[in-house]
């Protein structure tokens, strides 16, 4: 699932105001729009529309795999067999620590044992960076460094080769006790220094740290602009294969993409607009809504759901879209609240889940969720207390629902076990927008992390193994990830403010001939296995990967 709701920084900073973000890059927390949008006439214009800077990305549903096991969240479950996790579990990819460029000529990569190191956030120069924390040796960590003062320390300096890299090593001690060790290599923009804090077991920490540093490599940055070439491309091509025709909406921003089991396609967007793909042609269909629709989900060609602003809910019966729950304007919800729905996952004709937020008159935001039980929409009201919003939802089996979003304390995941919702904070992200399930049942989530001083942003990627959220490093690119797909090929496909394809411990750019398309809001796979990406500006791209 991928998502692009209106996102606000106010909740993140504990402010009660809900002023919309002023840039095209989404910020890490979802809140409702204060003024309901007015209907835009369905005027056919030349394809010159570009995304407005006041709207931001949104999640939609990636169909769950069929004929595959589902992950069971509980004490008896543990899944760590997926190919993607094996590929990226021990990869640290980052800028050289002394680089002053957002996209430097070279990137540093190091490999680590994910069973003994966890990936965390550090700050190096002007940019966010990655650090490693030892999971068994308390206090042992490896962080990027810009240099450390030696005043007050006993200093030992020497050179040593670790793997194929020679480091200038500085050991700092006090009263004979090792306090810090700095490892530096390279020159100029390629120079990097890493600081080891030895933790409770100095020798073990040194051994494990130097095992990581021995894998150090400096490789050309495939994302350095201008990108000369890439084996991966988003092709502007319509369903019939005609090159250069991929603009579905000429004037109205789009938010969600879905395919049915028969290959029919659906797209939803602002002003309640809905497009239907039949016979390889996208056509607008009648919609009972005039307000933004943020997500779509189908169980069959004759059963589907759309959700959006004002907690509006629409249902498709194979012939007509009907309004199941009407739009509620700002302050028209219970107790004067404002409600939004950003994600939906339809399981069967008798079960569907919808999530979003409800902002009260006191300025606090709470999770908002509905369950379709086959007869009625039942509101969920047993959430743990949190000032948070939900952006995406995925059913993992009976009484096994996972929803993710953002809170004033960072990204959050909520799980329903059939009787209660439980909350899991997720370190290393401020909000999660997308959920996708791999063929073996493992679950992946993506979103955005914002620097403490808000000077930098970057995408985030996590995997749920049934017990914990494991973090994976991404290329150092500015912006967030709002769309995610993990196809059976074992690759990871990311879309948002940037787009990338991950495979075999490498991340590669995905290029396109269309400039200025804004951001990708959804990535979906049709029944033939073709990967499609929808942009907020109205384009629908087809992925082409050269082996």
Q: CA-to-CA distance for 500 and 227, rounded, in angstroms? A: 13
Three-state SS sequence of 380-446: ECCCCCCCEEEEEEEECCCCCEEEEEEECCEEEEEEECCCCEEEEEECCCCEEEEEEECCCCCEEEE
Structural domains of the chain in order of their starting residue, each with its CATH number: 89-220 (3.40.1000), 232-545 (2.130.10.10)
Tell me the pLDDT tens digit for each residue of 443-483: 999 999 999 888 899 999 999 877 889 999 999 999 999 99
| Angular region, 46: left φ>0, alpha ψ -120 to 50, beta rest | beta
- Residue 154 pLDDT > 90: yes
If you ran DSSP here, which 8-state letter would residue 155 be given?
Answer: E
End-to-end CA distance of the chain: 26
- Residue 134 pLDDT > 50: yes
Tell me the pLDDT tens digit for each residue of 274-324: 999 998 899 999 999 999 999 999 999 999 999 999 999 999 999 999 999
**What share of the chain in percent tops pLDDT 90?**
70
Across all residues in the chain, what is the average pLDDT?
84
Work out the pLDDT band at 85, boundaries 50, 70, 90.
low
Q: CA-to-CA distance for 213 and 221, rounded, in angstroms? A: 19
The pLDDT, as a whole number, for residue 84 is 52
Go through the chain and tell me how many residues it has. 547
Give residue 420's Cα distance to chain centre: 26
Tell me the pLDDT tens digit for each residue of 473-526: 999 999 999 999 999 988 999 999 999 999 877 899 999 988 888 999 999 999
Strand order in the sheet with 531-535: 511-512, 232-236, 540-545, 531-535, 520-525
Q: CA-to-CA distance for 260 and 266, rounded, in angstroms? A: 8
Q: Which residue has the tokens 């949190």?
A: 386
Q: CA-to-CA distance for 446 and 522, rounded, in angstroms? A: 12
DSSP result, 280-317: TEEEEE--S--S-EEEEEEEETTEEEEEEBTT-EEEE-
- Residue 71 pLDDT > 60: no
Q: CA-to-CA distance for 405 and 421, rounded, in angstroms? A: 14
Lowest mean pLDDT among 18-32, 243-257, 282-296: 18-32
- Is the model's pTM score more than 0.75? yes
């Amino acid at each position: 699932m991928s998502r692009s709701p209106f996102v606000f920084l106010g909740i993140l900073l504990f402010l009660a105001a809900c002023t919309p973000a002023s840039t095209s890059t989404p910020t890490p927390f979802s809140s409702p729009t204060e003024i309901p949008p007015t209907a835009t006439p369905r005027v056919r214009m030349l394809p010159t529309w570009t995304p407005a800077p006041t709207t931001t990305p949104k999640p939609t549903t990636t169909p769950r795999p069929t004929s595959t096991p589902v992950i069971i969240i509980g004490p008896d479950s543990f899944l760590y067999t997926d190919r993607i996790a094996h590929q990226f579990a021990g990869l640290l990819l980052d800028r050289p620590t002394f680089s002053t460029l957002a996209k430097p000529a070279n990137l540093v990569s190091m490999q680590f044992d994910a069973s003994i190191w966890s990936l965390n956030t550090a700050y190096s120069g002007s940019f966010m960076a990655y650090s490693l924390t030892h999971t068994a040796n308390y206090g042992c960590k490896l962080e990027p460094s810009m240099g450390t003062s030696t005043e007050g320390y006993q200093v030992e300096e020497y050179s040593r080769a670790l793997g194929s890299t020679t480091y200038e090593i500085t050991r700092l001690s006090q009263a004979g006790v090792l306090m810090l060790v700095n490892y530096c290599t390279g020159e100029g923009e390629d120079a990097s220094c890493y600081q080891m804090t030895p933790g409770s077991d100095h020798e073990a920490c040194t051994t494990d740290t130097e095992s990581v540093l021995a894998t150090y490599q400096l490789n050309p940055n495939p994302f350095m602009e201008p990108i000369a070439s890439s084996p991966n491309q988003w092709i502007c091509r319509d369903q019939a294969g005609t090159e250069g025709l991929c603009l579905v909406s000429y004037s109205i921003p789009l938010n969600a993409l879905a395919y049915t089991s028969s290959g029919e396609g659906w797209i939803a967007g602002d002003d309640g607009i809905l497009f239907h793909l039949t016979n390889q042609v996208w056509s607008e269909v009648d919609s009972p809504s005039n307000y933004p629709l943020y997500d779509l989900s189908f169980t069959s060609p004759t059963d589907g759901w759309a959700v959006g602003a004002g907690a509006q809910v629409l249902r498709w019966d194979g012939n007509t879209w009907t309004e199941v729950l009407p739009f509620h304007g700002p302050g028209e919800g219970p107790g004067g609240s404002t409600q939004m729905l950003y994600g939906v996952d339809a399981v069967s004709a008798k079960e569907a889940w919808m999530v979003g937020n409800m902002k009260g008159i006191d300025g606090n935001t709470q999770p908002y969720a509905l369950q379709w039980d086959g007869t009625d929409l039942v509101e969920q009201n047993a959430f743990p207390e949190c000032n948070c919003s939900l952006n995406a939802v995925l059913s993992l089996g009976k009484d096994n629902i996972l929803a993710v979003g953002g809170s004033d304390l960072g990204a959050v995941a909520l799980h329903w076990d059939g009787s209660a919702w439980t909350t899991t904070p997720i370190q290393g992200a401020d909000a999660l927008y997308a959920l996708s399930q791999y063929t073996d049942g493992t679950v992946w989530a993506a979103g955005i992390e914002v620097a403490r001083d808000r000077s930098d942003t970057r995408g985030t990627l996590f995997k749920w193994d049934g017990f914990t959220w494991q973090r994976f490093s991404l290329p150092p690119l500015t912006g967030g990830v709002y769309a995610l797909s993990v196809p059976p090929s074992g690759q990871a496909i990311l879309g948002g403010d940037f787009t990338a394809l991950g495979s075999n411990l490498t991340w590669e750019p995905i290029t396109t001939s269309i400039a200025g398309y804004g951001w990708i809001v959804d990535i979906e796979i049709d029944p033939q296995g073709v990967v499609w990406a929808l942009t907020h500006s109205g384009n629908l791209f087809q992925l082409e990967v050269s082996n």
